[in-house]
Amino acid sequence: MQALVDTIRGRIIRGQFAPGQRLKEEWLAAEFGVSRIPMREALRALASEGFVRSERYGGTFVATLDAEAAHDLLDVRAVLEPLAAAQAAMRCTPEHLETFRRLLDEGDRAFRERRPEDTRTVKGQLYEHLAVASGNSTLIALMRVVRFKIEWATSIELIEQIPEETRNLRAKLVREMVDAMADRDPARAATAVAAIIDATYASQGWRRVVDVRFEAASKSP
């Protein structure tokens, strides 16, 4: 059943199933050569991840990831990724570091060669590997779903084209994160990741939700 979930999720991320499109169990089951029971279970799993939504008596539809949801996603990353980087700095192995550097090189090459699909995929793999390197099973499970949401948000252009200078800054900071991990410096690794996320906030004109809430609280009588 997991293979079915992964395949349907992949089609949603790539836009082959469009936001708002109805997904009928019977034709999906026929297309994938399975019965309706595993298909129903797969759709339920995707609903729990937020990729589809079910309406009582109305059917199942591809979820819509709007700008507000993309902002919420970034707020989640702002919490999870610095923690993952700090723990990875304390727990990662030489093999983890080798994988990080390979992914960085692959991402740079894909960007230079103007292969946006590959660039997006490598970026997702890098942040999923960050969770793996943390050695924290809870973070691994949470960041796996976040990774797919990031790819989805990017594929449907909810996050605007990142300026080249911002992209270059982020690439530099990712390498700084990996260097900090190699030096076993959790504070520096977490700071580098936080700066990457701050650059994304700035590029969109967004603010961290905690900053907004603290500001509102300070103004209250």
**Do 181 and 85 touch, CB atoms closer than 8 A?**
yes
Q: Is the dihedral of CA 2, 78, 103, 19 positive or negative?
A: positive
* The two structure tokens encoding residue 166: 């911002």
Nearest-5° Cα angle at 144, 71 to 205: 15
Please state, as a whole number, how many other Cβ atoms lie within 10 Å of the Cβ of residue 21.
12
- What angle do helix axes 94-112 and 164-182 make, rounded to 10 degrees? 170
Residue 221 confidence (pLDDT): 53
pTM: 0.78
Above pLDDT 90, what percent of the chain?
Answer: 46
What are 55-109's pLDDT values in tens digits? 877 789 999 877 788 888 888 989 999 999 999 999 999 999 999 999 999 988 9
Residue 162 has pLDDT above 70, yes or no: no
> What does the DSSP 8-state code read for residue 16?
S
Q: What is the pLDDT of residue 171?
A: 84
Residue type, 154: T
Distance CA(198)–CA(173), nearest Å, equals 11
Which segment of 42-51, 67-76, 135-144, 159-168 scores lowest on mean pLDDT? 159-168
Three-class DSSP category at 41: helix
Quick one: pLDDT at residue 21?
93
Quick count: other Cβ atoms within 10 Å of Cβ 19? 14
What's the pLDDT band for 163 if we cut at 50, 70, 90?
low
Taking CA atoms, 41 is separated from 2, 25, 32, 53, 133, in Å, by 10, 10, 14, 13, 31
Q: How far apart, in whole angstroms, are the C-alpha atoms of residue 167 and residue 111?
A: 10
Q: Is the pLDDT at 214 greater than 50, yes or no?
A: no
User: Within 33-163, where are the H helices?
Assistant: 36-49, 67-91, 94-112, 116-134, 137-155
Report the distance separating Cα 63 and Cα 177, nearest Å.
33
pLDDT at 216: 46
